[in-house]
């Protein structure tokens, strides 16, 4: 809800001035669902949908004489070392290492300055997700099972739907 209320307060002024940049922090949990964090995933999918919809709304309302200069960037980090998750499960830490908040912040600022619509942290995750959606679902499930990245219900962060 914080994203919504913040946008409600600031986006009209940005549109009126035809200038501004909205950066929303989602998560890779807003790109692919994970067990044991169902409500969290749902809220992050909502951020993704809201940002895509806002971008499209401004884009279709553009005219040749008045192209919107309000920019949108959605950020999808996988795991940030904030203390929220105590023991993330990860079979291949070289691929999906725990990111420092400073590194994530630096990548967000860089993405905003370059007007990227979306970024994942680490970078290749969104591309891998898009490619994976072209492959058979059963194969993708096997890859997910092999990589075994996620949270266990006893990690102190259990927000699963099965409670």
**CATH number, domain with residue 81:** 3.40.50.720
User: What is the tens place of the pLDDT at every residue in 8-67?
Assistant: 999 999 999 999 999 999 998 889 888 888 999 999 999 999 999 999 999 998 876 678
Per-residue exposure over 109-128, b if at least 16 CB sit within 10 Å of its own CB, e if not:
eebbeeebebbbbbeebbee
Q: Structurally, how many domains does the chain consist of? A: 1
Radius of gyration of the chain (CA): 17
Q: Phi, psi at residue 155, to the nearest 5°?
A: -80, 0
One of 40, 55, 76, 116 is an active-site residue; which one?
A: 40
Residue 162 lies in a domain: no
Question: Cis link prior to 108 (omega < 30° from 0)?
Answer: no
Residue 154 lies in a domain: no
User: What is the tens place of the pLDDT at every residue in 90-134?
Assistant: 777 777 778 899 999 999 999 999 999 999 998 888 888 889 889
Verify whether residue 137 is a known catalytic residue.
no
52: containing domain: 2-147
Helix/strand/coil percentages in the chain, nearest 5: 45, 15, 40
Model-level pTM? 0.84
Per DSSP bridges, beta strands 70-77 and 118-121 are parallel
Residue 155 lies in a domain: no
Residue 159 lies in a domain: no
Residue 138 lies in a domain: yes
Residue 160 lies in a domain: no
Residue 152 lies in a domain: no
Residue 27 lies in a domain: yes
């Amino acid at each position: 809800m914080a994203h919504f209320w913040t946008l409600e307060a600031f986006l009209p002024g940005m549109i009126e001035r035809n200038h501004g940049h909205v950066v929303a922090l989602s998560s890779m949990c807003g790109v692919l669902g994970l067990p044991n964090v169902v409500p969290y995933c749902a809220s992050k999918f909502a951020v993704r949908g809201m940002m895509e919809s806002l971008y499209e709304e401004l884009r279709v309302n553009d005219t040749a004489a008045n192209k919107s200069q309000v920019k949108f960037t959605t950020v999808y980090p996988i795991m940030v070392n904030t203390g929220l998750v105590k023991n993330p499960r990860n079979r291949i830490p070289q691929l999906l290492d725990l990111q420092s908040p400073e590194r994530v912040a630096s990548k967000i600022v860089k993405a905003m300055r370059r007007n990227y619509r979306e970024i994942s942290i680490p970078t290749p995750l969104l591309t891998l997700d898009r490619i994976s959606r072209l492959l058979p679902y059963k194969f993708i499930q096997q890859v997910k099972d092999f990589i075994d990245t996620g949270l266990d219900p006893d990690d102190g962060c259990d927000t699963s739907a099965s409670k």
